[in-house]
Amino acid sequence: MRGILRIAAGHLFTAFRERVTLFWFLIFPVFLLAILTLIFGNMGQEGEISFAISVVNLESNTAGPVDFAAIVEGVFEETGTASEEGKEPLFTLTHPSDGEDLEEFLAREKEALRLGHRAAVIVIPEGFNQELLERMMRSSSSPSGNGALTIYINEGSAASEMATSIIEQILAGVDREILTHIGHFQEEEAIPSETLWVGSGGEELSYVDFLLPGVILMGFFVNGLFGVPGSILFARDRRVLRRYWVTPLTVPHYLAGFSLGHLTLCLIQFVLILVLGRFAFGATIKFAEPMPILFLLLGAVTFLAFGFFIASVAKTANAGMASANILNMPMMFLGGLFFPIGGLPTFLKVIVYANPVTYLAEGLRMSLGVQGETFSIPLTLAVPVGWIAFCIFVASRRLSWDVK
């Protein structure tokens, strides 16, 4: 037993002494969790994003009963002020300089849009007030014409796409206000809308709660895929293992100690990522239930077995690392850890359905209540168990414990 514990401790100390190991096992998952949560966690929320736009009001006739052009312009001017101190305004508006010709300003802004410096340019055309008035009398809209607002967009820019979508929502609000103001639209008869979240007990799921199980599994995956063959093969190539075999230590004892060390490393990794997710990003999911614990344990053991499998088929440590690198990307990204995998073509779905990561990610998320049942629970358990059996079978026959 002492021998097993010493091997486990040795595995842990070696992992912590290697700065690169520390980066991939501990810092990288934490970095990934932080960066993806910062990017996607508040996506689309006011105060977190800001777009540079400009509003060009070409309407010169303001003598009518209502200056609609000024109302539209005013609404966008308001969005140029941050709703809270310290937050960004939704739009940063560019205005023509004093005395600048509006057509020249429009040309300049269109050029800025083309070059990606603006997300959108809204043009209120000449004759807008009159046209809107007439249209309201007819109570109909026309898809385009003299009175239509023009939004210049750049389809190649994600900022432009997002800004246009927000602008359209703002205009829909303005539209309704105008129709209510003139008595055409009855606000009390407006159709209410509600939202139902499916797959998370009716609650909206925060991005960090979706991401956290994926990052934890990714940590285990990287740990098993690189750490296990790396440790075994480098120890074998440098003849460290040979020295073990002249002691009373047996291969089963070594394997038990190594596995214990590996699982302890996974536990440390899990605690660190969980603490960061909970206290820095406000994750609320609870792992302290039997099923999530079972899936976490199954994940750690599956990837440990996978590591043994790679160690058994690679002739040298460098070949093992190269094999792990080749398997890393397809298995990680075609396992649904970070992105949905529903719309893939058939030849890639084969990898998805054969990939143990897919079942572990789905199973863990289902058991945590953050996802509906896409696979049955027995299947999400059976496939990884099948992989464990296969990997152990191959490793038991092929893994060489000394340099040939």
Distance of CA 309 to the CA centre of its chain: 30
State the nearest-atom distance from the C-beta of 106 to other proteins, in Å: 11
Q: Is 52 helix (H, G, I), strand (E, B) or coil?
A: strand
Nearer to other proteins, 181 or 389 (CB): 181
Return the structure tokens found at 117. 């410096």
State the nearest-atom distance from the C-beta of 80 to other proteins, in Å: 16
State the nearest-atom distance from the C-beta of 174 to other proteins, in Å: 6
Nearer to other proteins, 5 or 38 (CB): 38
Beta carbons of 308 and 392 less than 8 angstroms apart = yes
State the nearest-atom distance from the C-beta of 18 to other proteins, in Å: 10
Beta carbons of 268 and 261 less than 8 angstroms apart = no
Nearer to other proteins, 7 or 132 (CB): 132
CA dist 6 and 294 (Å) reads 27
**Beta bridge pairs of residue 202:** 197
The DSSP H or E segment spanning 187 is none
Burial 347-385, CB ≥16 within 10 A → b, else e: eeeebbeebbbbbbbbbbbbbbbbbeeebeeeebbebbe
- Tell me which DSSP letter residue 202 carries: B
Residue with the two structure tokens 């414990």: 401
DSSP assignment of 57-112: E------SS--HHHHHHHHHHHHTS-SSTTSPPSEEEE-PPTT--HHHHHHHHHHH
State the nearest-atom distance from the C-beta of 60 to other proteins, in Å: 19
State the nearest-atom distance from the C-beta of 167 to other proteins, in Å: 8
Beta carbons of 245 and 402 less than 8 angstroms apart = yes
Nearer to other proteins, 36 or 381 (CB): 36
The angle formed by the CA atoms of residues 378, 381 and 382, to the nearest 5 degrees, is: 80
Nearer to other proteins, 28 or 390 (CB): 28
State the nearest-atom distance from the C-beta of 162 to other proteins, in Å: 7
Nearer to other proteins, 72 or 388 (CB): 72
**Beta bridge pairs of residue 54:** 94, 121
Nearer to other proteins, 7 or 314 (CB): 314
CA dist 327 and 202 (Å) reads 37
Nearer to other proteins, 207 or 401 (CB): 207
Nearer to other proteins, 97 or 144 (CB): 144
State the nearest-atom distance from the C-beta of 125 to other proteins, in Å: 10
Q: Which long-range contacts (CB under 8 A, 24 or more apart) does 179-187 make?
A: 179/136, 182/136, 184/136, 184/139
